[in-house]
Amino acid sequence: MLVRDTIAQERSAAEASRAEAAERSLKALEQEIRSNTISVEDDAGMDISDLMARMGRPLTSTEVQRRIKLINPNLIFERCIRYPELTGVYIERDERNAAGGWIKRKVHLFGMESGIMPEFSVLHKTKKQVPNKELLNNPKPVKEVEWDYVDTFATETRGWRTVLIRLLKAELITRADVEKHFGWAPSKDSHKWHSQTS
């Protein structure tokens, strides 16, 4: 009698363990799908991968740099030698050297486009292969695995408002600066602009 109870308890524990593992697998898959798709969700109804929808008021990189330099002349813009379509944004910071003196060190903040910049960043999508939720933890073996595909982030064409957000977050420019040189209100409704600048 005691042997049967022990075997039954072991089976029950094994089944519970399998059920917990299946639940963890499903939650992990749902989290992976969410983390991949959240970056490519629409912005106030605007498809973030549609260049024409995100164009808004385009500016040349040179014009964006000119306006930003009026706000903060300490910022440095350098076109990338290896990737000339990109420009690096830097600032010089004072740093102590080994001898105890001070030196200027150029610190990279972020990159931006070198040519025409859309008002809003364009996130180019790709498809990522994820397991089919219906077949996940299927007790019956399946010869052919059916995959689902979800949209996820591939690359970005950085918009000039994203550049402003980065500079605002770094406290290198202010809202008043943006209002004066760029205009605070975007040309189109943008939930991302409002949530990042509130």
What's the rounded Cα separation, in Å, for the pair 53 and 77? 27
Mean pLDDT of 58-68: 97
Cβ count near 68 (within 10 Å)? 24
Is pLDDT of 1 > 50? no
Please write down the long-range contacts of 41-47, taking CB distance under 8 Å and 24 or more positions apart: 43/120, 43/190, 43/191, 43/192, 44/188, 44/189, 44/190, 44/191, 44/192, 45/189, 46/120, 46/188, 46/189, 46/190
Q: Which residue has the higher pLDDT, 117 or 42?
A: 117
Mean pLDDT of the chain: 84
pLDDT at 40: 59
Mean pLDDT of 105-129: 90
pLDDT at 180: 96
Q: Which residue has the higher pLDDT, 29 or 9?
A: 9
Q: How far is CA 60 from CA 63, 72, 120, 162, in A?
A: 5, 18, 13, 14
- Cα–chain center distance at 148: 22
